[in-house]
Amino acid sequence: MSQPLAGVCVLDFSTLLPGPLATLLLAEAGAEVIKIERPGKGDEMRSYEPKFGPASVNFALLNRGKRSVAIDLKAPDAVERLQPLIARADVVVEQFRPGVMDRLGLGYAAMAAINPRIVYCAITGYGQGGPKAQVAAHDLNYQAESGLLGLAAGADGAPVVPSALIADIAGGSYPAMINILLALRERDASGRGCKLDIAMADNLFTFMYWALGNGLATGKWPHPGGELVTGGSPRYQIYRTEDGRFLAAAPLEQKFWENFCDAIGLAPEWSDDAIDARGTRAAVARIVAARTAAQWRAALAGKDVCCTVVASVEEALADAHFQARGLFAQRLAAAGRAITALPLPVDPAFRRDAALGYPALGEHNDLLGD
C-alpha cells in the first residue's frame, strides 16, 4: 500500500514526548515532519542519557526520519523566515503554555492568515483555557488530579508511581494524532483548517469510564483495592510465585475462573469467590506461592485461563509471539549502528520500511526563507 499521509507537511514546534510522538506517528504514515528547534541546544531530549549517536536514544526513537530546522523564535525576522514553511504546511504541532505562540507571532490566527488550510494542534496539560491553563505539571500530576492515580495503590494503601507515561502518550500523543486526522478529513470537505485543543489531563477521564459510570449511576465511587479491576477480586490479581516472580491472573469470566480453579487445584470451598473474596484471594496466593514461575507457565499453558507470568522488558522483546508479529522489524540507524525502532500503532502496511536515522540539529535549515 502507499503511505496515506504522503504529501502532508507537518511543522513540529514541540519537544520531549507528547508532540514528538504524535508527529512520529504521522511521519511513519508518510508525512514530512520538520522539527523547529532552538539553536545551540535544540530539543532538550537531545541531551538525555544514554546516547545513541550524538543525541540521546530517547530523542532518536521519537524523531526517526524527521527533518530539523534550528531558528530563534524570538528573533525579529523569525516569522518572516518561517513563512515559506507555514505557507506549505498542512499541520502545525506545538506544546507551549497557552499564549506563548501568540506572543511569538506564531499562533493559530497568525498562521491561518498566511495559510487558511493549516491544522493547528496545541498540546498542553490542562488545555487552552480554565483556571489551571498556566499551571506547570507533568504526567504524574495529570494522573493525580484526574483521579486515575488514586485508583491504584500498593500494600500500604499509597498510590503507586505508574510505569507508563499515560497522560503524555494516551492523553496527549494519541488524541493529537486522532484529531489531526479528523481535522484533515474535515478540511477535505470545507477547505479550511482549524485549531485543536488537546489537554492531556482531560483525556485521562476516558480511561475511567467504569469508575465514572459506577459513581454517577449509583453514588458508589470506587477506591483502590475495592473493585474488580483495582484489586478487590481474586479474579484480577497479581500473585507472587515461589521464586519471587509474579503471575498476572485475570480469569474474570466464569468459564475462565472455573478453568483456573481446576488448573491450580483450588479447593471447592474457595471457588465461590462471591462469598469471601478476601479468603479466596489468600487461598489462591498460597497455591501460587508453592510453585515457580516456570512451573506455572507450564501448568497453565493451553488451559484457557487468562493467566501470564509477568515479563521483563528484555523478555518481552525476545517473546516468540511478538517476534513472529514483526513488531521489532523497523530499524533506527545512527553512527554506524542500528537498533529496533520504536514499535508504533500504525499498521505495517502504512509504515516506512527503511532503516532511518534522526536529524542533526539544524540539518535542514536550507528549508528556511533567506
Residue 117, CA distances (Å) to 29, 31, 161, 179, 338 in order = 20, 16, 42, 15, 38
Catalytic residue among 72, 77, 102, 138: 138
Residue 85 burial class via C-beta count within 10 angstroms: exposed 0-12, middle 13-18, buried 19 and up = buried
Say how many CA atoms lie within 13 Å of 99 toward its Cβ.
4
Residues 356 and 60 sit within 8 Å (Cβ to Cβ) = no
Q: What is the CA radius of gyration of the chain?
A: 24
Question: Which residue type, as a one-letter code, is found at position 2?
Answer: S
User: Who's near 238: CB < 8 A, 6+ residues apart?
Assistant: 246, 247, 248, 249, 310
SS3 264: helix
Residues 309 and 244 sit within 8 Å (Cβ to Cβ) = no
Directed axis angle between helix 18-28 and helix 174-190, to 10°?
60
User: Who's near 123: CB < 8 A, 6+ residues apart?
Assistant: 14, 18, 19, 22, 93, 94, 95, 172, 176, 198, 200
Looking only at the bridges linking them, the beta strands covering 307-309 and 246-249 are: antiparallel
Per the omega criterion (within 30 degrees of 0), is the bond before 50 cis?
A: yes
Catalytic residue among 90, 139, 168, 273: 168
Q: What are the grid coordinates assigned to 120, written together? A: 493547528
| Residue 77 a catalytic site member | no
| Residue 321 a catalytic site member | no
SS3 119: strand
Catalytic residues: 138, 168
